């Protein structure tokens, strides 16, 4: 789309304007996911957000990623991470002592 200036009579000054026309494509699913994240961030519901993502994960890898992220929001992060890696924290403590 283009716009042009009309012919000017002698003695008139020319003013140039720029017009931009753009098309915005909206993906409703992306907006819904964004709103869920914004709500979780606003209210500090990090753990609940991760739990929802874990339950909606479609692949084992995706589920593992969200489990590890979820573990970082738990009160005993170290024990949760060790458990996800296949270690038992009480066995490790016994071996260390």
Tell me the C-alpha to C-alpha distance, in Å, between residue 93 and each of 1, 15, 72, 86.
71, 78, 20, 15
Q: In this predicted model, what pLDDT tens digit does every residue of 52-68 receive, in sequence order? A: 999 999 999 999 999 99
Name the pTM for this structure: 0.65
Six-digit token string for 32 = 């819904």
Q: In this predicted model, what pLDDT tens digit does every residue of 6-53 receive, in sequence order? A: 555 666 666 777 888 888 878 999 999 999 999 999 999 999 999 999
The domain limits of the chain are: 28-96
């Amino acid at each position: 789309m283009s716009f042009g200036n009309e012919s000017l009579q002698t003695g008139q000054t020319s003013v140039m304007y720029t017009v931009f026309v753009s098309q915005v494509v909206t993906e409703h699913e992306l907006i819904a996911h964004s709103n869920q994240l914004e709500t979780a961030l606003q209210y500090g519901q990090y753990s609940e957000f991760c739990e929802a993502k874990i339950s909606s994960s479609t692949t084992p890898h995706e589920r593992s990623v969200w489990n590890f992220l979820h573990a970082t929001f738990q009160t005993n992060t170290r024990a949760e991470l060790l458990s996800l890696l296949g270690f038992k924290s009480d066995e490790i403590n016994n071996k260390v002592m």
